[in-house]
Amino acid sequence: MKVIEKKLIELGYQKIETPLLSDFNQTRIYLSEVEQKNAIKVTSPDGRVLNLRCDSTLAMVLSKTNKIEQNIYYFEPNYNYDFEKNQMNEVYQIGIENAKFGIAKLEQNNAELAYGLESLELAITLLKEKERSNLLVEVSNEALFMEVLDDLSLGEEEKEKLLYFIKRRNAKEIRICLEQSAVSINVIEVLVKLTSHPIQLDLVLSMIENITIFNKLTQWLEVISQRIGNDLLFEGLPDASKPYYSGLSYRIYDKENHLLSVSGGCYYFEAFEVAGCGFTIPMEVISC
């Protein structure tokens, strides 16, 4: 922890503390119905309903401090809802947020991506400070990839089924679902590959170039390739879907210790008009 904190202070990051308990009536506007129902709540002596710090609490803090456009970090537990397992999890982590850009910059996709890649590079630097060098970097753009899937003209039920099997990387079932779409066999082959296994960036680019439905994705990946290089993986849809990620999301795996060491991306909390990009490093990575 000291190594990472020292580096962050050196880079001008400021430590913040977010409240352990938020006023539920203020918090609920950025929570889904399921999250609202499952948030861990207590009632204060004066009758206010309070909920334990959730992973979106930072948005509230940023919304109040946004004007200062400060790069920040925090080191405290969050309580977030796991949709797949239908339970609340406590996650102890260090969070590092680059909130230097505002909404106007977010609207320009390339600017957002540039900031996102800057935060990805910082994550790699911090892991190297912790002497982790055997790293596997994976990038995704869920919103852009969903646009590709929307273009397949699948019915609601078929699409839901497809997403279920993509989450499980079940290539056989993914193929069966895609065969019900109106796209050509070539496009199906590409989509099966992209959704069933993370693939090296240069290979992805060679597979999707000149295929119309992938045009936007191709342009986006080319920007990444020019900035970071091709030694990273592309994942169509990431495992843990975070609806607030607005573009780039990334994960860094430590190949030597078989750990997911960093998870992050660019986000936008509509309710608070807060944009930023950042990542978290779980406690087990910091402590080992």
Nearest to 248, CA basis, from 106, 131, 129: 106
253 versus 269: smaller Cβ distance to other proteins: 253
Minimum gap (Å) between residue 109 Cβ and other proteins: 27
User: In this structure, what are the phi and psi dihedrals at residue 238, rounded to the nearest 5 degrees?
Assistant: -70, 160
Please say whether the beta carbons of 95 and 280 come within 8 A.
yes
Torsion from C-alpha of 183, 186, 187, 193, nearest 10 degrees: 140
Minimum gap (Å) between residue 176 Cβ and other proteins: 12
Task: For residue 207, give the amino acid letter.
Answer: M
Nearest to 234, CA basis, from 226, 245, 224, 219: 224
233 is written with which tokens? 């993986």
33 is written with which tokens? 């119905």
Minimum gap (Å) between residue 136 Cβ and other proteins: 6
Minimum gap (Å) between residue 186 Cβ and other proteins: 23
61 versus 252: smaller Cβ distance to other proteins: 252
Nearest to 220, CA basis, from 153, 143, 125, 279: 143
Minimum gap (Å) between residue 179 Cβ and other proteins: 17
Minimum gap (Å) between residue 45 Cβ and other proteins: 40
Minimum gap (Å) between residue 165 Cβ and other proteins: 8
192 versus 275: smaller Cβ distance to other proteins: 192
67 versus 85: smaller Cβ distance to other proteins: 85
Nearest to 280, CA basis, from 46, 119, 135: 119
| Footprint of other proteins (CB under 8 A) | 84-85, 136, 138, 165, 168-173, 197-198, 233, 239, 253-255, 258-260
What are the counts of helices (DSSP H) followed by strands (DSSP E) for the chain? 13, 12
Minimum gap (Å) between residue 168 Cβ and other proteins: 5
Buried b (16+ CB within 10 A) or exposed e, 249-269: bbbbbbeeeeebbbbbbbbbb
199 is written with which tokens? 């693939």
148 versus 233: smaller Cβ distance to other proteins: 233
The total of other beta-carbon atoms located within 10 Å of residue 201's CB is: 22
118 versus 158: smaller Cβ distance to other proteins: 158
69 versus 231: smaller Cβ distance to other proteins: 231
Can you tell me whether residue 203 is helix, strand or coil? Answer: helix
108 is written with which tokens? 């320009």
19 versus 243: smaller Cβ distance to other proteins: 243
